[in-house]
Amino acid sequence: MAVNYIYPEYEVVRNYDRCIVCRVCERQCANGVHEYLPDLNKMTCDDSKCVNCHRCVALCPTRALKIVKSDNTYKENANWSNKTINEIYRQAESGGVLLSSMGNPENYPIYFDKILLNASQVTNPSIDPLREPMETKVFLGAKPKAIKRDAEGKLVDNLTPHLTLSMPVMFSAMSYGSISYNAHESLARAAKELGIFYNTGEGGLHEDFYKYGDHTIVQVASGRFGVHPDYLSSGVAIEIKMGQGAKPGIGGHLPGTKIVGDISKTRMIPEGTDAISPAPHHDIYSIEDLRQLVYSLKEATDYKKPVIVKIAAVHNVAAIASGIARSGADIIAIDGFRGGTGAAPTRIRDNVGIPIELALASVDKRLRDEGIRDNVSLVVGGSIRSSADVVKAVALGADCVYIGTAALIALGCHLCRSCHSGKCNWGIATQVPSLVKRLNPEIGYKRLVNLMNAWKHEIMEMMGGMGINSIEALKGNRLMLRGVGLNEKELEILGIKHAGE
């Protein structure tokens, strides 16, 4: 009984007048969609395997291909969508949890798109970033409440070393294992060239990348994969991952099929073993426990590295951040509910957490109200899509942002959201050697550098337009923001006025 037949979501449309039967599409599709029929000297395809990654479309030499959404539909129903019905069929068949990857694609409000920036007119003249100095440098870490001098008048500086960035953007945590060697190399090289940082994620650090240590943040997650003294000392900062925006409250799982070769060596676990990060750190059940880990890591690295604590944006994020700011951490990273992932249960990804804009505004306000805002820097991520999002995040109170998905798109990701299959046709979220080599790190790192340089220029233009000449002066400057189409409560939480006020 074909109860479970699910019509393909996408259709591969081939223009046979243009197709020269070169079979490029067949070679390029790791999902085995395209097939050559020798008897007919013609191509055919199995649409049901297509994930809409656009690899074949981009490489077809005659532009003979396009992927379209299927118009096959169940009877119209505003409550029971095609997607919901198909998901129930799948679960009724498998009895399993639905898996997804990348960020939450559902239609929740995007607050960044409902916030507009100010610009100078007549008074408070704007600044031309091409002709006048403009400071985009950012320092991350605890700031002194007051300047202290010793008896001889010299500055007393006993703070943990800061991270210095050329612009308020870093590459967020993506583990070696969830993404490929070539993707990691692209990120590391770009971070070095740009004077910013990339993050190892929870998979350890491949020995080839120790040379990028000055631009590396090393992560310690609940699974402690690949964590050893040399690893902790190799980066410029250590990030404790307590949570992730795409899957707050649950752990991680990299299937054993991906734990091969260097990945198994880097993670320090046997080949073929599933890498399961537990939901909690089994030694952390309170802020006091967190404080112990923060200071253990500082002790292990001679108090030379700032410690970041990363959490997912959840309902009581402001209270949690307040505790973290008192735990000895130097930086708090908050990951919004649209943050990306290599794999997460679909229901968690799409229904848990809160938007980063609201989380950021409420954390910044709480820390200011409690007089501890300078104890920590705030880094936010979870769908920062453009330089405008960066500027709005800084004006809402962030010191800096993390980007993940945008960086992967720069590397060629087409957001097909099938990273969990391990068959990324663009060589990013895969460990299959023939696919990995499709991403040339030489090209990849240049594309990341281009993207960041373009954003930096746009950030300077927006700041100049507001008459602001440094990121520090923009930070938390909510007067530069106005809301459109937001209700009183939303405006109150964001701490901004409505447009026209």
56 is in an annotated binding site: yes
Name the one range near ligand SF4 by CB under 6 A: 90-98, 130-138, 234-242, 423-431.
423-431
The long-range contacts involving 78-83, CB below 8 angstroms and separated by at least 24 positions, are none
Residues 26-45 that bind ligand SF4 (CB under 6 A): 28-29, 31, 33, 43
Establish if 426 lies at the interface with ligand SF4 (CB under 6 A): yes
How many residues bind ligand SF4, per CB under 6 A? 42
Binding part of the chain for ligand SF4, among 208-216, 267-275, 278-286, 414-422 by CB under 6 A, reads 414-422
Residue 348 lies near ligand SF4 (rule: CB under 6 A) = no
Residue with tokens 């880990």: 293
Give the closest residue to 138 by CA, choosing from 477, 500, 499, 471.
471
Neighbouring-strand partners of residue 407: none
CB 45 within 8 A of CB 80: no
For ligand SF4, give the closer residue by CB, 7 or 139.
Answer: 7
Q: Does 50 bind ligand SF4 (CB under 6 A)?
A: yes
Is 275:269 a contact under the CB 8 Å cutoff? yes
| Least distance from ligand SF4 to the Cβ atom of residue 176, Å | 14
**Measured distance CA(180)–CA(171) in Å, rounded:** 15
Q: Please check whether residue 188 is in contact with residue 170, taking contact to mean a CB–CB distance below 8 angstroms.
A: no
Candidates 64, 174, 348, 407; binder of ligand SF4 (CB under 6 A) is 64
Token pair 């937001």 in the structure block, residue: 486
Calculate the alpha carbon distances from 376 to 147, 233, 319, 473 in Å. 17, 21, 14, 17
Residue closer to ligand SF4 (CB basis): 101 or 375: 101
Piece of 186-194, 362-370, 394-402, 422-430 that binds ligand SF4 (CB under 6 A): 422-430
Distance CA 203, CA 225 (A): 6
Q: Three-state SS for 26?
A: helix
Residue closer to ligand SF4 (CB basis): 177 or 328: 177
Per CB under 6 A, 67 contacts ligand SF4: yes
Q: Does 447 bind ligand SF4 (CB under 6 A)?
A: no
344 binds ligand SF4, rule: CB under 6 A = no
385 binds ligand SF4 (CB under 6 A): no
415 binds ligand SF4 (CB under 6 A): yes
N-to-C CA span, the chain: 63
**Which residue, 410, 407, 328, 317, is CA-closest to 360?**
317
Q: What is the DSSP letter of 383?
A: -
Identify the residue among 266, 375, 418, 469 touching ligand SF4 (CB under 6 A): 418
- Closest to 310 in 3D by CA, of 232, 235, 399, 242: 242
Instruction: Report the alpha-carbon distance of residue 389 to residue 159 in Å, rounded.
Output: 30
Stretch touching ligand SF4 by CB under 6 A, among 18-26, 210-218, 325-333, 432-440: 18-26
22 is a contact residue toward ligand SF4 (CB under 6 A): yes
**Is 343 a binder of ligand SF4 (CB under 6 A)?**
no
Does residue number 349 form part of the binding site for ligand SF4 (CB under 6 A)? Answer: no
Query: CB-wise, 60 or 237, nearer to ligand SF4?
Result: 60
Cα-to-chain-centroid distance, residue 310: 12
Closer Cβ to ligand SF4, 31 or 301, answer by number: 31
- Phi, psi of 68, deg, nearest 5: -125, 155
Rounded CA separation 101/418 (Å)? 6
187 within 8 A of 171, measured Cβ to Cβ: yes
- Interface with ligand SF4 (CB under 6 A): 12, 14, 19-25, 28-29, 31, 33, 43, 50-56, 60-62, 64-65, 67, 101-102, 408, 413-419, 424-426, 428-429
Binding residues for [4Fe-4S] cluster: 19, 22, 25, 29, 50, 53, 56, 60
Report the binding-site residues: 19, 22, 25, 29, 50, 53, 56, 60
